[in-house]
Amino acid sequence: MNFSEKSSLPALFSWLLRHALAPSYRESALGDLAEEYKVRRQASVRDAFKWLCHQTLRACFQWLNRAAGSRMLIVCSLSLLTVFVVPTVYLMVVWLSNMDAASPALWEPLLVGDMHKIVVQAEFWQVAIEATSGSQDLLMFIHVEAVLWVLVSVFALVLKQNTMTSHQLAGAGLILMLLPYVWGLLVLSTFPPGLKLIGPMLAFMLFCLLYMVLPLTWLVLQHRRRSRRIESGI
Amino acid sequence: MPSNEKFLGEFEQVVLLALLRLKEQAYGAAIRQLLDEQINRDVAIGALYSTLERMEKKGLVTSKLGEATAERGGRAKRFFSVTAAGEGALKRSRSAMDTMWQGVSVFSGVNPL
């Protein structure tokens, strides 16, 4: 028998499956797929092709699930989120609380809530770090409306977590975390309020991000741990 | 029954039963086809193998490589068989389900009138 043609599957599918299937069973699985594909082709070439597409897609989704669901990736992603959000919001709050004047490059985005445009400017980091030498107290970091929003959001996530996968829970949590920010952006850019109201709105946008990141991280990791136990039959 | 003995998941049970039915011919493609024909369950090959791999690690199944064939692109079949521990786990799961089903009547949705 000539085994020089390693795969009897079309080249693109063979390549995709080779990368999507786990190494421990890759060869056996490819052989099974090649065998079944050949049998199906004898009945209908078109149906066999559709079947192969379906199997390949599912293998690719499984690979994505393995990659995205790996504990290391989730931990790294959430850690990065925490490491980025917490100090950024801290510096933003300190800067805003101690701000006397700001350059137009920082002031104009601030008026419309575009704080994400401010944090990419080097000037912000310079003035924000300088502001840390100014006055700070714990009350600066307490925002009642944001606390209420986060409590309600976390409560909703806890209630619904048993009907969700870990990815869905993380996605829902991220949406709840970002919703106040997006809402603030829309309101500030569409119906610019008076200067007195901009501050509280910016505060609400920022503190919802800050307060939500740690509970969300904890919820997703706990959910992941529980799901793993259930899958293993513990 | 010791409390540390675990019950099988639904898919694990179904796969083990397929292995028992197929006997010496229990390899990936055959298992997949049996599940499709018998219970109309179109299983992805990757999902099947990851379950078999997990059960092998738990000692519920063993595997061995067969001969390579041309229609498989020169790749060998991997044959699976249920171990004594796997049979024990199946019996426990069945017993647990039978116990829980006792006294339960499920409305079939068919109007008897």
**A107-140, pLDDT tens digit by residue?**
888 888 888 888 888 888 888 888 888 777 888 8
Task: Give the span between the Cα atoms of B82 and A148, in whole angstroms.
Answer: 55
User: What was the ipTM of the complex prediction?
Assistant: 0.84
Task: Give the span between the Cα atoms of A143 and A147, in whole angstroms.
Answer: 6
| DSSP3 helix / strand / coil % (chain B, rounded to 5) | 55, 15, 30
Question: On the CB side of A223, how many CA atoms lie within 13 Å of its CA?
Answer: 24
Eight-class DSSP state of B27: B
Q: Which residue has the higher pLDDT, B94 or A168?
A: B94
Which residues of chain B neighbour A234 with C-beta distances below 8 Å? Answer: 6
Give the mean model confidence (pLDDT) for residues B6-23: 92
- Per-residue confidence (pLDDT) for residue A33, from 0 to 100: 95
Q: Which residue has the higher pLDDT, A5 or B56?
A: B56
Cβ contact, residue pair B29, A62, below 8 Å? no
Which residues of chain B neighbour A53 with C-beta distances below 8 Å? Answer: none
* Contact in structure between A33 and B45 (CB atoms under 8 Å): yes
Touching check for A231 and chain B: CB below 8 Å? yes
Which residues of chain A neighbour B70 with C-beta distances below 8 Å? Answer: 1-3
Q: Which of A28, A38, A233 sits opposite B28 (nearest CB)?
A: A28
How would residue B1 be classed by pLDDT, with cut points 50, 70 and 90? Answer: very low
- Per-residue confidence (pLDDT) for residue B113, from 0 to 100: 44
Task: Give the span between the Cα atoms of A32 and A36, in whole angstroms.
Answer: 6
Cβ contact, residue pair A55, B53, below 8 Å? no
Instruction: Indicate whether this model's pTM tops 0.90.
Output: no
Q: Tell me the count of A-B CB pairs closer than 8 A.
A: 101
- Per-residue confidence (pLDDT) for residue A71, from 0 to 100: 67
**A90-99, pLDDT tens digit by residue?**
888 888 888 8
pLDDT at A27 over 80: yes
Burial pattern A51-76, b for ≥16 Cβ within 10 A else e, equals bbeebbebbbebbeeeeeeeeeebee
- Per-residue confidence (pLDDT) for residue A3, from 0 to 100: 40
- Per-residue confidence (pLDDT) for residue B22, from 0 to 100: 96
Task: Give the span between the Cα atoms of A36 and A153, in whole angstroms.
Answer: 48
Q: In angstroms, what separates the C-alpha of B53 from chain A's closest C-alpha?
A: 8
Task: Give the span between the Cα atoms of A27 and A112, in whole angstroms.
Answer: 57
Nearest CA among B69, B94, B76 for reference residue B16: B94
Could you tell me which chain B residue has the CA closest to the CA of A59? B46
Q: How many CB atoms lie within 10 A of CB A12?
A: 9
* Contact in structure between A208 and A154 (CB atoms under 8 Å): no
A145 Rama sector, left if φ>0, alpha if ψ -120 to 50, beta otherwise: alpha
User: In Å, how far are A74, A165, A234, B8 from B99, measured between CA atoms?
Assistant: 39, 30, 20, 15
**Chain B interface disruption, residue of A16, A28, A37, most B CBs within 10 A:** A28
Q: Which of B6, B49, B70 sits opposite A3 (nearest CB)?
A: B70
Task: Give the span between the Cα atoms of B101 and B113, in whole angstroms.
Answer: 26
Task: Give the span between the Cα atoms of A138 and A155, in whole angstroms.
Answer: 25
A31: tokens are 């052989």
Q: Which of A28, A35, A62 sits opposite B71 (nearest CB)?
A: A35
Q: Which of A6, A21, A231 sits opposite B73 (nearest CB)?
A: A6
Q: Which of A7, A8, A25 sits opposite B49 (nearest CB)?
A: A25
Give the mean model confidence (pLDDT) for residues A65-75: 70
**Chain A interface disruption, residue of B10, B75, B90, most A CBs within 10 A:** B75
**Chain A interface disruption, residue of B13, B32, B45, most A CBs within 10 A:** B45
Task: Give the span between the Cα atoms of A48 and A67, in whole angstroms.
Answer: 28
Q: In angstroms, what separates the C-alpha of A226 from chain B's closest C-alpha?
A: 15
On the 0-12 / 13-18 / 19+ scale of CB atoms within 10 A, A232 is: exposed
A166: tokens are 């870990």
